[in-house]
Amino acid sequence: MARKTQNTADDPLAALTVAVGQEELLLDRAVREVTDAARAADPDTDVRDLAAGELQPGTLAELTSPSLFAERKVIVVRAAQDLGADTVKELKSYLAAPAEEITLVLLHAGGPKGKGLLDAARKAGAREVACPKMTKPADRLTFVRGEFRSLGRSASPGACQALVDAIGSDLRELASAVAQLTADVEGAIDESVVARYYTGRAEASSFTVADRAVEGRPAEALEALRWALATGVAPVLVTSALAQGVRAIGKLASAPGGMRPGDLARELGMPPWKIDRVRQQMRGWSADGVAVALRAVADADAAVKGGGYDPAYALEKAVVTIARAARSR
């Protein structure tokens, strides 16, 4: 039986959710909110998480066809702005009469590409979740405050600002840092607490490890990594910094040539000073090297989040792999 979508902002089990924006952490959280709600309603929920290229014409009809067991399904479509015209046509037809017990989640970058599908989803009454890139320091500060509140804790304004200053613009790192502080600190979280955890240790920071690795300096990267872990830097912060460093290499390497520095910075979402640093770091990198390095980061990230027995070993292996990839040209 078909059902009509309802624009129910607080119902993650609405027939259709669209998560709009380019902030990966927020997109992942939007997906997790829906899948967690679905599995709370039915532990046997079937979740299908698809890249745009995996949703070919006919695939949606197959996934949404009635089941003998009437099982609940969540179908996630990533990078929906990249879907082909025939698939978009099929999706629009489905939106007019979505199936019972199926929740469709479309992740869309926003912007003009694929806007027709986004407009159709909104017209159909989709539940919409905003996932914008947080490019302004004030937005990141608000994000940190919200993270503390969501964990049932508060932090002083100075602590929140110090954390943003120490960690930078990566929301995953900021969220991980907030989680670590709330788990480790029982009393008030003020500026002195943040200083104890995240400042005054420039030579042991996760970013130093990443910088040495992407520069192709394995010995120095390993030394920085071991010192960072010995002084309490969370392994997840190291993997996040490594991912950010490798992605920056890939983004700059694939950027159009001839762009002015200011335009290039806006296009890539990096401050101009970082463009200059990454340009120096990318010497020696190849496209294959970037791919190898990204796989190494993904493996390490899975290991430090419970998929491996020795996070330190996983990080050392990733650092060496990345440093070698930096010399692949």
Whole-prediction pTM: 0.59
160 inside domain: yes
pLDDT at position 222 is 92
The predicted pLDDT at position 70 comes to 59
Residue 37 has pLDDT above 70, yes or no: yes
Percent of the chain with pLDDT over 70: 91
Q: Cα separations (Å) of 165 from 48, 238, 251?
A: 38, 17, 24
Is 11 a member of any domain?
no
pLDDT at 261: 65
Same domain, 268 and 285: yes
pLDDT bracket for residue 268 (50, 70, 90): confident
Does the structure show a pLDDT above 70 at 262?
Answer: no
8 in a domain, yes or no?
no
Max mean pLDDT among 222-236, 250-264, 293-307 falls in 293-307
User: According to the model, what pLDDT value does residue 202 have?
Assistant: 39
Q: Say whether 297 sits in a helix, a strand or coil.
A: helix
The predicted structure's pLDDT at residue 201:
47
Residue 143 sits in the same domain as residue 110: no
**Domain closes at, from 198, 218, 237:** 198
Query: In terms of residue numbers, what domain contains 307?
Result: 206-326
Do 80 and 59 belong together in one domain? yes
For the cut 80, the answer to whether the pLDDT of residue 68 exceeds it is no
Strand order of the β-sheet with 102-108 is 46-50, 73-77, 102-108, 16-21, 127-131
Residue 3 lies in a domain: no
What is the pLDDT, as a whole number, of residue 197? 78
Closest C-alpha among 119, 122, 167, 160 to residue 138: 160
Give residue 69's pLDDT: 61
Domain limit, last residue, from 101, 116, 131 = 131
Rounded CA separation 188/234 (Å): 21
Q: Within this chain, do residues 118 and 44 fall inside the same structural domain, yes or no?
A: yes
CATH code where residue 316 lies: 1.20.272.10
| Domain co-membership, 312 together with 258 | yes
pLDDT in tens, 88-98: 999 999 999 89
Q: Is residue 1 part of a domain?
A: no
What are the angstrom distances between the C-alpha of 173 and each of 20, 28, 93, 242?
21, 14, 40, 11
Q: Which of 99-113, 158-172, 284-298 is least confident?
A: 158-172
Domains identified in the chain, total number: 3
The pLDDT value recorded for residue 295 is: 94
CA distance to 135, 260, 280, per residue, from 255 (Å): 19, 12, 15
Instruction: Decide: 253 and 285 in contact? Cβ < 8 Å.
Output: yes
Q: Name which of 77-86, 195-204, 248-257, 313-322 the model is least confident about.
A: 195-204
Decide which of 131, 164, 189 is a domain's last residue. 131
Model confidence at 309, pLDDT cuts 50, 70, 90, reads confident
Domain CATH code at residue 120? 3.40.50.300
Across residues 180-192, what is the average pLDDT? 89
pLDDT category at 36 given cuts 50, 70, 90 is: very high
pLDDT of residue 306: 80
Residue showing tokens 């503390």: 148
pLDDT of amino acid 130: 94
- How buried is 280 (Cβ within 10 angstroms: 0-12 exposed, 13-18 middle, 19+ buried)? exposed
Q: Is residue 272 part of a domain?
A: yes
Average pLDDT, the chain: 86
**Residues paired with 2 in a beta bridge:** 99
pLDDT band (50, 70, 90) for residue 203: very low
Considering 102-111, 132-141, 169-178, 228-237, the range whose residues carry the highest mean pLDDT is 102-111
